[in-house]
Structure formats: C-alpha cells, structure tokens
C-alpha cells in the first residue's frame, strides 16, 4: 500500500511538473516564481496573466529570467533585431535563451523592447481600439460628437493599420458631417527597421472647404528610434489626390510629395501613459506653391484594464484650400473614452 501511495504521489508530481513546464513562468530576483501566461512585453514592462489571479505588470529589471514557451513569440529588441521563437531560462541572471527552430542564442532580458504572441490563426493577429467622446472645434461653438477607431494586423513581414474618425455637429434642426478621416496603411518590412509603404486615405473637412479627398500613395520608411520608452518612424514618397470642394468643383488628379514623422512615447508603470504625435507634410507637384500639413496628437491614460481616458488635438493647414471662401487652417480638441481589444 505504501509503495502504491508513493507511486501515485510521484505520478501527480510528475504531471504537475510537466504541466508547469508547458506554461510561461516568471523568475524574480527575490526568488519568487509566478506561473501563467505572458500577454506581452512592451518597452521594459511585461504584462502577465497568472494562474487563478488577475493580470499583473512587472518591470523586466525585477526579473532574474523567464520562460515563454506556450507559443511562438515575435520579439523586437532595442538593437533593432526581430526574432520569432520561444524563450527559456538562462543560468545567468537577467538573461534568457532564445530558441528558433534548431538554433539557440543568448538574449539580455532588458534588451527586449516588444514581445507579442505570434498567432498562427489569421483572426488572432488582429488588435485595435475604439473611442467615443465630446469635442470642441474652432469652426463651431457647438458641442460635437466624435469617434475614432483603429484596427491592426501583424504578420512576419507586414503591418496593416486601418483607422477611422469623425466629428459631427448635432442640433435639434440639423446634422453636419464636419470632419471625417479614413486611412489604410500597409508596411512591408525588407529589413528589421526599413519598410515600403502603400497607403490610401479619405478626408472631409468643411472648415477648409473640402467636401472629400481621395488619396493613394506609396513610399519607403524607417523605424529610426527603438528604445524602452520611445518609438519613432519616418516615411516619405508620392501621393495622388482627387479633391472636390464644397462648391462642387472637382480638381482632377493632383500629385504631391509627402513626408511623415510619427513619434510614440510609452510609460507602462502606473499610471500607464501613451503619447502619440504624427505630422504629415505635403508639397504639390501640380499646383505651384501649395503646401499642406496634417497633424495629430493623442494622449491616453489607462484608468482600468483596456479602458483609457483620451485627449486628442488635430490640426490641418492648406495654403490653397479647395473652398473659394474657406479658411486655410483648422484645429480641434477631442476628449473621450477608448476601449482596447
């Protein structure tokens, strides 16, 4: 009977050890161990789902090592390297072993800038956010309803971003579509930091006399800053526009050179803050002396998990706006809530 009990306990212990070996694990500098599932690493902070507990966030500097074996992960480092593989503990503190197929290498833990599960399922590669709020703009003293949303798709060599936003005036007597934007951006990486870009945009801005603008373009870009707290991209290329003014005048096809700078600052210690600045500049090849600028600044503060308080500022400048009696500058401030999925 004693032998049977010992054998039974040994089988339970072996099964438990095997089960844990198939889970992600955090090994802390103070000797603590937490078992569960890694959700992501972003700019020096890991989000982890422990067994039988709520999600936690931990700074990488507090970990001795970790195990990320539940799936294949996409790993970006501060040295601009991109890997696809699994991580297992290293016997040297603050290091992990990177497993890529039959290859094994050593990686400094705090060099990991971004880590995300690389899902094989097409549907699981999507993420995004949607927001709703109240805004004030120069073009009207009325309160306005605003919304925005983004959808992201990531594969080994490709990033796709779909964004939509709108600002609407609603009163007892009328409904006005004052400002609308929709954009599709496709980045195809040919090196860890360099990529080609294909884009398509739709714009509407009544303050500038623009009933609608369709835009298609291509170019090249580079992710020139990758640190634990900052990401920055630069893009440039050629776009073609088809514009229609509020008077109904159609422009034909206009060619422009464009340059775009995007800057992201993240802080994933409490409170979590995400600051995003994007500026786009256009120089017309079809209309002499025409310059345009589209700017957008966003600040997000996470109140509870996946729910952010947002403050955004946008600006648009056109030296030769489509509307004959229109202003050449517009700006607005929006305030609201955003849900991430």
Say what the pLDDT of residue 29 is.
93
Residue 268 in 3-state DSSP? coil
Say what the pLDDT of residue 280 is.
96
Show Cβ contacts of residue 283 under 8 Å, excluding neighbours closer than 6 positions: 256, 257, 258, 290, 291
Distance CA(167)–CA(336), nearest Å, equals: 12
- DSSP string covering 47-58: EEEETTS--EEE
In terms of C-beta density within 10 A (0-12 exposed, 13-18 middle, 19 or more buried), how is residue 278 classed? middle
Distance CA(337)–CA(306), nearest Å, equals: 10
Show Cβ contacts of residue 60 under 8 Å, excluding neighbours closer than 6 positions: 41, 44, 45, 46, 109, 110, 112
* pLDDT by position in tens, the chain (length 341): 555 554 444 444 434 443 445 789 999 999 999 999 998 887 678 889 898 777 888 888 899 999 999 888 989 888 888 888 999 999 999 999 999 988 899 999 988 988 888 765 566 667 788 888 876 655 555 667 888 999 988 877 888 999 999 989 887 677 889 999 999 999 999 988 899 999 999 999 999 999 999 999 999 999 888 776 788 999 999 999 999 999 999 989 999 999 999 998 876 666 678 889 999 999 999 999 999 999 999 998 887 777 888 889 999 999 999 988 888 999 988 888 888 77
- Longest CA–CA separation in the chain, Å: 96
Distance CA(200)–CA(214), nearest Å, equals: 8
Q: Using alpha carbons, select from 312, 266, 315 the residue that is nearest to residue 295.
A: 315
- The residues facing 241 across adjacent strands are 215, 254
Whether the Cβ atoms of residue 118 and residue 102 lie closer than 8 Å to each other: no
Say what the pLDDT of residue 10 is.
46
Structure tokens at 229: 């707290």
Phi/psi of residue 300, nearest 5 degrees: -120, 135
- The residues facing 269 across adjacent strands are none
Phi/psi of residue 275, nearest 5 degrees: -115, 130
Whether the Cβ atoms of residue 247 and residue 214 lie closer than 8 Å to each other: no
The conformational region for residue 276 under phi > 0 = left, psi -120 to 50 = alpha, else beta, is: beta
Say what the pLDDT of residue 94 is.
92
Whether the Cβ atoms of residue 262 and residue 276 lie closer than 8 Å to each other: yes
Sketch out the chain's domains with CATH numbers: 24-117 (2.30.30), 123-340 (2.40.160.40)
Show Cβ contacts of residue 202 under 8 Å, excluding neighbours closer than 6 positions: 180, 181, 182, 183, 212, 213, 214, 215
Say what the pLDDT of residue 141 is.
55
Distance CA(17)–CA(38), nearest Å, equals: 19
Whether the Cβ atoms of residue 167 and residue 313 lie closer than 8 Å to each other: no
Distance CA(124)–CA(173), nearest Å, equals: 44
């Amino acid at each position: 009977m004693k032998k049977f009990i010992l054998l039974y306990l040994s089988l339970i212990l072996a099964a438990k050890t095997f089960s844990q070996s198939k889970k992600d694990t955090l090994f802390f500098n103070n000797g603590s161990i937490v078992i569960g599932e890694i959700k992501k690493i972003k700019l020096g902070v890991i989000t982890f789902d422990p067994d039988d507990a709520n999600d936690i966030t931990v700074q990488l500097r507090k970990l001795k090592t970790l195990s990320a074996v539940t799936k294949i992960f996409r790993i970006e480092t501060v040295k601009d390297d991109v890997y696809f593989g699994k991580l297992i503990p290293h016997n040297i503190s603050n290091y992990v072993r990177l497993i890529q197929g039959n290859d094994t290498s050593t990686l400094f833990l705090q060099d990991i800038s971004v880590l995300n599960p690389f899902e094989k399922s097409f549907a699981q590669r999507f993420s995004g956010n949607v927001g709703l709020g109240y805004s004030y703009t120069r073009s009207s003293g009325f309160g306005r309803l605003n919304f925005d949303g983004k959808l992201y798709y990531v594969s080994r060599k490709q990033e796709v971003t779909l964004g939509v936003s709108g600002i609407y005036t609603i009163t007892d007597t009328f409904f006005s579509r004052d400002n609308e934007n929709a954009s599709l951006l496709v980045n195809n990486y040919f090196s860890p930091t360099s990529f080609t870009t294909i884009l398509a945009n739709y714009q509407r801005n009544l303050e500038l006399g623009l009933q609608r603008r369709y835009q298609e373009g291509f170019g090249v870009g580079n992710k020139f800053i990758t640190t634990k707290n900052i990401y920055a991209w630069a893009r440039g290329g050629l776009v073609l526009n088809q514009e229609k003014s509020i008077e109904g005048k159609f422009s034909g096809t206009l060619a422009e050179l464009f340059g775009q700078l995007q800057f992201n600052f993240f802080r994933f210690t409490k409170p979590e803050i995400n600051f995003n600045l994007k500026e786009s500049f256009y120089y017309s090849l079809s209309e002499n002396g025409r310059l345009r600028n589209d700017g957008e600044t966003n600040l997000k503060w996470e109140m509870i998990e996946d729910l952010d308080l947002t403050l955004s500022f946008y600006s648009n400048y056109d030296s030769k706006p489509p509307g004959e009696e229109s202003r050449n500058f517009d700006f607005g401030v929006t305030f609201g809530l955003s849900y991430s999925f």
